[in-house]
């Protein structure tokens, strides 16, 4: 006897055709990647630098440049921008230090200036970094205008799970097909797949596959835990409920790895296999 929850037609069979069903017990979890934005627009001065009331000449120009800066970060990239049009009469130099590495440009009132830097991945977890900004003018006698800007750095990844490959290693029933119920739990909830199989047969469960983009360790993605049952006539099964999974997907080195797990139940066993591909990503624009 088979309990059908909802009919699904997207099952790819490697060996024999089978009727299968799947249900997800919970919607996908929200997984917003960390990013930060700092701006001096509308403020009197950057937070770490007091205003300069009564200043004249070059000091006023430096303050004007500082007040129009923005610093964005996403994944491991930080970008500092000064728009065009800031009223600067003297040659103004902008030096930006990311992770101990300095970049220097002369401010362009017609085109503006952009400074970008890609931080190392390091542990893969979110961390705070500090960008150092130094402004100075030629021949004005104004002191250097120096301040710091905090940024959040958290590597983003594209994470791809392949379809689930399940192989029945030995028959659960002495005759006829085994009525296999597969289940998994991860951060998305619970998935259940039901299929008639014989020992040695393999199926691909396309519904198991997933792809997440711009996701970081703060998303709390988990690798699935598996559950296996043979549904004999008159039997009863109670698949696990999610979200679940005990192993975090991130952080991890980039590349593709295969995950394999074999489960034994009373009369038979089966092997679950899938691949996880992780690619470090940087947003094309911030």
Q: List CB contacts of 183: < 8 A, sequence separation 6 or more.
A: 190, 191, 192, 193, 226, 227, 228, 229, 239, 240
**Secondary structure (3-state) at 193:** strand
**Secondary structure (3-state) at 58:** helix
**Secondary structure (3-state) at 181:** strand
Tell me which residue of 70, 61, 74 sits closest to 43, measured CA to CA.
70
Tell me which residue of 1, 2, 8 sits closest to 208, measured CA to CA.
8
Task: Please give the chain's pLDDT, 286 residues, in tens.
Answer: 333 333 333 333 333 333 333 344 433 444 556 666 666 544 434 544 545 545 555 577 788 888 889 999 999 999 999 999 998 888 899 999 999 999 999 999 999 999 999 999 999 999 999 999 999 887 666 677 888 898 999 999 999 999 999 999 998 877 788 889 999 999 999 999 999 999 999 999 999 999 999 999 988 899 999 999 888 765 567 778 888 998 999 999 999 999 999 999 878 899 999 999 999 999 888 7
Distance CA 240, CA 224 (A): 12
Specify the pLDDT at position 39: 63
Distance CA 3, CA 139 (A): 84
CB 46 within 8 A of CB 66: yes
Distance CA 226, CA 242 (A): 11
């Amino acid at each position: 006897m088979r309990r059908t929850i909802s009919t699904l037609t997207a099952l790819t069979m490697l060996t024999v055709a089978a009727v299968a069903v799947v249900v997800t017990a919970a919607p996908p979890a929200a997984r917003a990647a960390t990013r930060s934005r700092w701006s001096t627009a509308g403020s009197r001065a950057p937070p770490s630098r007091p205003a300069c009331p009564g200043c004249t000449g070059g000091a006023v120009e430096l303050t004007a440049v500082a007040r129009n800066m923005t610093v964005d970060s996403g994944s491991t990239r930080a970008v500092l921008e000064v728009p065009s049009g800031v009223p600067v009469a003297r040659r103004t130099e902008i030096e930006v230090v990311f992770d101990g590495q300095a970049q220097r440009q002369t401010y362009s009132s017609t085109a503006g200036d952009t400074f970008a830097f890609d931080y190392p991945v390091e542990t893969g977890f979110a961390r705070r970094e500090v960008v150092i900004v130094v402004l100075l003018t030629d021949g004005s006698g104004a002191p250097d205008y120096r301040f710091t800007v905090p940024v959040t750095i958290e590597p983003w990844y594209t994470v791809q799970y392949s379809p689930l490959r399940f192989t029945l290693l030995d028959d659960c029933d002495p005759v006829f097909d085994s009525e296999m119920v597969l289940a998994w739990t991860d951060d998305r909830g619970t998935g259940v797949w039901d299929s008639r199989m014989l020992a040695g047969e393999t199926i691909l469960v396309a519904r198991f596959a997933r792809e997440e983009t711009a996701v970081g360790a703060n998303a709390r993605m988990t690798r699935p835990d598996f559950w296996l049952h043979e549904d004999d006539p008159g039997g009863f099964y109670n698949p696990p409920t999610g979200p679940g999974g005990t192993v975090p997907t991130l952080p991890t080195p980039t590349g593709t790895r295969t995950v394999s797990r074999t489960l034994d139940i009373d009369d038979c066993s089966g092997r679950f296999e899938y691949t996880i591909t992780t690619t470090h990503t940087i947003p094309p624009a911030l």
